[in-house]
């Protein structure tokens, strides 16, 4: 992940926050004068002030939005507002589908890889055919990769009872570094350490990158970069594949 990517990621985050700060319905009557920057004062209703690292992480969860305290003041402070589950779902469902990567082609078969996970278990992609495979390419020193982990953990929990959905995290880092990292930040995907060869095989250079492979081994959903909408679109895609391939019940006469 390079400096240009970080700048682009922050700009997108800022634009998203401004968009949802302009009104309850997200409609923009006119361009707001309040400008959101890393130097802006961000506080909650109690007056507690949040630093840039923290409020950006909160925005990425999709549970928060920012509203200008003085919309007509260019240097206005912003209030950090927590959305209800209904508001969050409505906001995410109206979000545009993330841009596809150039690394995969939707509907085309994904090439096989064979590698061991962090516990030494052998994993062959072709042997998982028939299941929905959810892949996450990441590394420890990638801020958006770390920020999205709590939401990805919820995703894994939602499908914990399904034996037909497999979550694999291809990490660039070595085993010992990952084990130290997981002491503070758990990650519930099956972890594949030192996965650079797999990332290089697919030509991945932007992180995080997400890929969902359907039951026939073909790319179904793929995108690069973090954000509040990623977990929504991953969950939506998994549910679509489960419904599409759900066995039809026999109707008795």
Could you tell me the CATH number of the domain that includes residue 215?
A: 3.40.30.10
- Provide the number of structural domains found in the chain: 2
Statement to judge: residues 170 and 57 lie in one domain: no
Statement to judge: residues 128 and 70 lie in one domain: no
Rounded Cα distance between 144 and 138, Å, is 9
Query: How many other C-beta atoms are found inside a 10 Å radius of the C-beta of residue 158?
Result: 14
pLDDT of residue 3: 47
- Look at residue 250 and tell me whether its pLDDT is greater than 60: no
At 100 the three-state DSSP class reads: coil
Last residue of a domain, one of 57, 90, 123: 90
Statement to judge: residues 174 and 66 lie in one domain: no
Statement to judge: residues 140 and 225 lie in one domain: yes
Instruction: Specify if 98 maps to a domain.
Output: no
- Scored b (16 or more CB within 10 A) or e, 73-83 reads eeebebbbeeb
Statement to judge: residues 119 and 72 lie in one domain: no
Instruction: Specify if 210 maps to a domain.
Output: yes
Q: CB–CB of 75/41 below 8 Å?
A: no
Statement to judge: residues 221 and 135 lie in one domain: yes
Instruction: Specify if 36 maps to a domain.
Output: yes
Rounded Cα distance between 166 and 163, Å, is 7
Statement to judge: residues 67 and 127 lie in one domain: no
Instruction: Specify if 107 maps to a domain.
Output: no
Instruction: Specify if 127 maps to a domain.
Output: yes
- Look at residue 150 and tell me whether its pLDDT is greater than 80: yes
pLDDT band at 166 (very low <50, low <70, confident <90, very high): very high
Alpha helices in the chain (DSSP H): 3-20, 52-60, 85-93, 143-147, 149-158, 175-182, 196-201, 230-244
Instruction: Specify if 253 maps to a domain.
Output: no
Show the domain range for 195: 114-244
Statement to judge: residues 166 and 218 lie in one domain: yes
Peptide bond into 230 cis (omega under 30): no
Statement to judge: residues 134 and 185 lie in one domain: yes
- Look at residue 100 and tell me whether its pLDDT is greater than 90: yes
Instruction: Specify if 188 maps to a domain.
Output: yes
Max mean pLDDT among 12-26, 60-74, 208-222 falls in: 208-222
Query: How many other C-beta atoms are found inside a 10 Å radius of the C-beta of residue 240?
Result: 15
Statement to judge: residues 80 and 118 lie in one domain: no
Residue 109 DSSP label:
B
Instruction: Look at 34 and 18; give whichever has higher pLDDT.
Output: 34
């Amino acid at each position: 992940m390079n400096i240009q990517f970080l700048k682009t990621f922050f700009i997108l985050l800022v634009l998203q926050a401004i968009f949802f700060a302009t009104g309850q319905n997200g409609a923009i009557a006119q361009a707001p004068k309040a400008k959101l920057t890393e130097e802006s004062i961000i506080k909650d209703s109690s007056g507690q002030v949040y630093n840039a690292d923290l409020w950006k992480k909160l925005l990425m969860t999709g549970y928060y939005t920012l509203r200008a305290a003085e919309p007509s003041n260019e240097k206005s402070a912003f209030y950090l507002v927590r959305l209800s589950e209904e508001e969050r779902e409505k906001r995410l469902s109206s979000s545009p589908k993330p841009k596809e990567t150039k690394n995969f082609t939707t509907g085309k078969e994904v090439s096989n890889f064979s590698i061991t996970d962090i516990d030494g278990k052998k994993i062959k992609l072709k042997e998982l055919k028939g299941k929905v495979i959810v892949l996450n390419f990441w590394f420890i020193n990638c801020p958006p990769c770390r920020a999205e982990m709590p939401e990805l953990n919820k995703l894994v929990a939602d499908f914990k009872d399904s034996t037909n959905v497999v979550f694999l995290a291809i990490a660039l880092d070595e085993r010992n570094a990952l084990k130290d990292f997981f002491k503070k930040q758990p990650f519930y995907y099956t972890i594949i350490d030192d996965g650079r060869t797999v990332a290089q095989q697919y030509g991945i250079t932007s992180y995080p990158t997400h890929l969902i492979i359907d039951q026939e081994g073909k790319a179904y959903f793929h995108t690069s970069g973090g954000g509040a909408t990623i977990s929504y679109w991953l969950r939506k895609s998994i549910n679509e594949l489960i419904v599409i391939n759900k066995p039809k019940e026999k109707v008795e006469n």
